[in-house]
Structure 1
Amino acid sequence: MYKKLLLVVLSVITLQAAKAQTEKGNQQLGATFGISVTNSNTRSVDLDNNISDNSKGKLTSYSISPSYSYFIADKLDIGASVGYQSSNQKYDPFYSSQVQQQSKSFSATIFLRKYFLFDNKIGIRTGPYVGYQQQKQRYVYTSNESSNYDSDSYSGGVNMDLVYYPSKHIGLAAALANLSYQHQKFTGNSLGNANTFSLNFVNSFILSAYYAFGK
């Protein structure tokens, strides 16, 4: 009888501890880290002028983004994040007149996320977001000449993450998919606008860690 009673008490404590992470009134402080290394081999063909071009390159990208969120209801939080990203694209000069492309950007995002968890421990979260990004790019060519481009971007979309809470106060998340629209305005050496729709599944390592606190 004593063992059964102890088991029930421990089960209730475990359930409440797990639920406490995502229940209404709680908060989360987090940081997202990203790294991506991509090799490319692109061939373009101009059928009108019978011209073809081949380029090979390697893109390395790093990012960090601290965040804060507040649970306005059980398993539903709203929050904001700021971020910094740096990328370096190198091209093989044998195939391209452009040898390097460097980029640095700062961003700010507001999001709303709904959690779908199994046993209040593991599952997915998904929801809409809107964001702003300021980016600076530098292109270097084989002739040692360079050009600079600046851009301001406004974006919106839906993210999906895998979420896991190994303990009462610690949470982990990994990016699964992203559906987005982006409007980009260029200044500097190049003027113009660009509109981009994209659907991305896991193609880079983006991991988030959280500290949950509150009630």
Structure 2
Amino acid sequence: MKKTLFTVIAFILFTGCAFAQTDKGNSTLGINLQFYRATTNNNIFDQASGTMYTQDQKNTNFYIGPNFSTFLSNNLDLGVGLQYGLTKINNVGTAYYTQKQTNYNYGASIYLRKYVMYESKIGIRTGPYFTYNRNSSTVTNLSGGSGMETKTTGNSYTGGLNLDLLFYPTKKLGVALMLANLNYQHYNADSGVAGNSDGDGVNFNFINNGLGVSVFYTFGK
């Protein structure tokens, strides 16, 4: 009995079921929203003076953008999306380490997703994606009331895997919540006279990268 139950569960998880929303020939049109806010406390050591400073960092991120996808086969869609993002960072500390930073980014992404649905109401989707972003930022140094600004422009290239939880309140309207994200990113930045930089990073988030939600409408069949 246990073996039979395990076989049924495994079949649902790995093959899924063909339902109207995720049938071949259908398409989706929606909007992505993401909000993240965090406060961290940093200790900064000034080698020149040999002094340890405390700095509170307040980080606020907001992203929004449309997306469109079409189902290549049952439970498998290919999609594209656009994104606009705004990030504000306030570093509040001593007179020597107080800064305000504003970042803007514009991007586009392409993704392939596999759907696993249960009774046409709830399920998950996962798959690879690639995103390109154009970034610009302004850092204002408020230390000592100087108000000096450093402007930076750059590019970032991100590839990874997403995992979303799906819910269909109606047959045509769907809602997706971001569960997990694993990605690799390469970036480059040009700060003018302040110099250039580039780097790479690997990131993993599991339900802890703020609130990420997508609302979409399914049309076709």
TM-score, length of structure 2 as denominator length: 0.84
Q: Distance in 2 between matches of 1:124 and 1:155?
A: 22
Question: Is the alpha carbon distance of 1:178 and 1:96 closer, same or farther for their aligned partners in structure 2, counting shifts above 3 Å?
Answer: farther
Contact kept? 2:125, 2:164, Cα under 8 Å: yes
Secondary structure at the counterpart of residue 21 of structure 1: helix
Which segment is superposed worse, 198-207 or 88-97?
88-97
Deviations 1:129-187 (A, max 9, x none): 01100000110112211101111111100011111111111000011111000110111
Deviations 1:52-74 (A, max 9, x none): 34310211111101000000111
Number of aligned pairs? 197
Q: Paired residue for 1:177, among 157, 177, 180?
A: 180
Q: Paired residue for 2:206, among 177, 184, 201?
A: 201
Mind listing any 5+ residue stretches in structure 1 that lack a counterpart? 1-17
Q: Distance in 1 between matches of 2:116 and 2:45?
A: 46
Greater than 3 Å deviation, 4+ residue runs: 44-47, 49-53
Contact kept? 2:53, 2:94, Cα under 8 Å: no
Q: Distance in 2 between matches of 1:25 and 1:141?
A: 54
Secondary structure at the counterpart of residue 24 of structure 2: coil
Contact kept? 2:185, 2:202, Cα under 8 Å: yes
- Cα offset, 1:37, TM superposition: 1.3
Q: Percent identity?
A: 34
Q: Distance in 2 between matches of 1:95 and 1:41?
A: 16
Mind listing any 5+ residue stretches in structure 2 that lack a counterpart? 1-17
- Cα offset, 1:95, TM superposition: 6.7
Contact kept? 2:168, 2:174, Cα under 8 Å: yes
Deviations 1:90-136 (A, max 9, x none): 12143752320100000100000001111121121100001100000
Secondary structure at the counterpart of residue 97 of structure 1: coil
RMSD: 1.9
